[in-house]
A and B are shown apart, each in its own frame.
Chain A
Amino acid sequence: MSGTTLRISDALIRRIHAHGVETYPFECCGALLGKDSETSREVIGLLPLANRRDDSPRNRFEVTPGDVQKAEKKAREMRVEVIGWYHSHPNAPARPSEFDREHAWPWYSYVIVSVEASEARDTKSWRLRDDRSAYDAEVIESIAQSASI
C-alpha cells in the first residue's frame, strides 16, 4: 500500500484540527467520506463522531459498529464511500501507536492529528500493510475546496 496519496482540502484539514482542539485533552474521531481509485483517494466530506471510549478518552478512541453504519449510510447518500477515519493524539506524535496497529483495518486511510497545549501541531495519514506488520505513510495532497458536509 506504499506510495498512495490522500487528497484533501485545507478547509477539511482545518475542521479535523478544530475537532481535535475542541475535544482536547481527549481524543476526537470521525469518518473520512470520499472517493477511492487505484493510486489516490480524495476526501469529499467528514462525519465527526463521538469517542465512545468513555473510560479512557485521553488515550483511546472507539467508533461503534452502529456509528460505522451511520457513516456508511451518510456516504451512500453522498454517493461516495467511507475511505478512512481520523482521530487525534493529544500530547503525542501524529504517528500510529502499537495500539493503533493492533486495532487497524487494512485499506482505510487513518489520519492522525497531533494536538498539544490545545493546538493542532501535525497531521499525517497512514495505511496498514497487507500483512498487518506496520503502517505506511500516505502522502497528503492539498486540493481546492471540496463540497464538504
Chain B
Amino acid sequence: MAVKVIIPTPLRPYAGKQESVEMEAGNVREALKGLTTRFGELKKHLYSDDGRLRSFVNVYVNDEDIRYLEKEETQLRDGDIVSIVPSIAGGTGK
C-alpha cells in the first residue's frame, strides 16, 4: 500500500530534512521499518534498546492513535497518512 509518513520537526534532520516520506507498507510496523531502513539515524530516536517504540513516540493513522487500533500491526490502505507525533516528558525524577 502506498502511504505517507509524516516526520515530526525534531526528527527531520535525520530524514533528509523532509516533512514526509512516501513508501509502500502493509502495516504500521512495515512503514516504520521502511523509514528506519531508509534513514538509519532515526532508529535510536524511535526505538529503545529492547526494540520497542519509545513511550514518548506516538503514531497515528489518519489521526487515530494506533494504541487504540492494532498497535504496530494496524493495517494500512492506499493513501493512508501515518503521523509520528511527539509527547514531551521529563522532570527531576527524584
Contact = CB atoms under 8 A, between A and B. Distances in A.
Given A69-B85, A105-B86, A27 B44 contact: no
Interface in A105-121: 105-108, 110
Interface in B15-48: 41, 44-45
Interface string A46-64: 0000000100100111111
A13 interface: no
Contact of B86 (A59, A65, A99): A65
Nearest to B90: A100
Interface size class of A (residues with CB under 8 A): 35 or more
A105 B10 contact: yes
A59 B94 contact: yes
B91 A105 contact: no
Most A CB contacts (10 A, CB to CB) among B44, B87, B88 go to B88
Contact of A107 (B13, B56, B90): B13
B62 interface: no
Interface string B66-94: 00000000000000000001111111111
B45 A132 contact: yes
A134 to B, nearest CB: 14
Interface residues of B, number: 25
Given A65-B87, A68-B88, A85-B88, A107 B10 contact: yes
B53 interface: no
Given A107-B10, A107-B13, A64 B91 contact: no
B9 A97 contact: no
Nearest to A107: B10
Interface of B: 8-14, 41, 44-45, 55-56, 58, 60, 65, 85-94
Which are the 9 A-B pairs with shortest beta-carbon distances? A99-B93, A60-B91, A107-B10, A100-B90, A63-B88, A92-B92, A103-B89, A105-B10, A65-B85
